[in-house]
Structure 1
């Protein structure tokens, strides 16, 4: 029976899942993911995580609880750096996530807390893959083949999103091996929905934001729909970069959409009590005013956020944009 490795369906899942899933399966492991976020996962996360944790960290704890008894190993990589921006790193809670889990949740299986720091050289990701593969007694030849296929899967995933697919549509397309139908309507308005991918793409915690926008006649555009090279070039608009990877991606995407003038408004999905996100929100709002007074809406989310308030704010924002467009 193959070793069962668990991947929680949150945080880095929306950015790197095809890479890890393909690699683990190609070296002979069985990959098990937690279910999509639901109320039980949220409740478990709130119960297990420390009180002052932000909602993403609480949800990750909930996903771990949902899967921990079904697997032999939990894959919880310790993300440090993945791009060569001098001061950029991941949020401290990403760096300490394996330790947070060990301190908070009882009866955990073994945690595979591989350190991911990709700025030491071109072959750093392969070194990480080799380290993981050797941990499970896999030959170098098989590790190399799995690594190549995993990188190809990640490139395809990113390519599908650059063509306009959302994360779940791109993953569905890859699973089925064909072109999955896009769930977004064309819409008369175009809205940049920006923020950390685990808030933008998790339908439960953002109360199905994109579907609501589609229903109001708007199409959503995200940071992942911008080619990575172009996104990184937008960094020159900032005299100094923010310290956090996902924060930089979001503000760079905002610059791209503001300069191209391809959207009618920007919605920033932000996590309440997240310090980096609070700084990002203020910066994004100021830049939206600076670049042509782009309409800007902040949606702050935590475990107490209700659909009624979100619906009202979205309807008012879209109505304002429609009125603005006919003047």
Structure 2
């Protein structure tokens, strides 16, 4: 296994966003002050980016760098959108963009100059004009319900309820340039089964929905996250199965790479052939499993043959990894040097 320093190119660094677990019953503690929601892996060390420590009720969900000189970054805690501008002299300006009805935003994607938010809590894709700082389009996935022919995962027994839910957690362009969403439920329905006081959620019909036509590709994924286009293929976390799946341009499965836990957040270096995927410590409800993973880490794979090269432990400061970004060294050094008195 390679050392942490060897796993990241010298001119780059990893930025990891994270938070407390969303559900109180899954948390190891409720002390928000112990959460350091943005951490940077630089020169083999994991460093807390302290200027973000107070941001978000639970932490930070996603971040997008849209301009490097001067540095302009958009950040979401899941319920908001914040513009952070840092001048070359180190001075910074924070601006909150008023976007109504954001809830549990999982990922943000800059596509053809438009910032797209996966507004997971409301099952929609939200497009933001960055010049005007306003919403230019909202696509509610519920409008496709009934158009999509997809089978529900099987659940047996009594007390089963079907709820309208896609769980849209990423907006992306496919290899042909079509606007798509990665979803947990291509049928638009999630089955819930009540056992005593617990509610068990069905998984297994995750896949991709075309946001123009509503056509779905069901990939039988369990809670998928973080699809990336790599060398003409799609790499996507089959999170509930502890797998990193590789598909060709027609969504034909080519490879399944085992991971050590729940995958969410990914980035890659095309030049160096490296793929980074966030693996979160599993929630308390799964503690009885024999293969229970209690660590947060980044796993690093080779993109040519899928070999696991090593792992980067994220030991303290977050309960779950939300996103992983491979950024230029100068960008993260600017963020590490940033001092803000307030995010208001």
Same fold (TM over 0.5): no
TM-score (norm 1): 0.29
Q: Which has the higher strand share?
A: 2
- TM-score normalised per structure 2: 0.28
Structure with more of its chain in helix, by fraction: 1
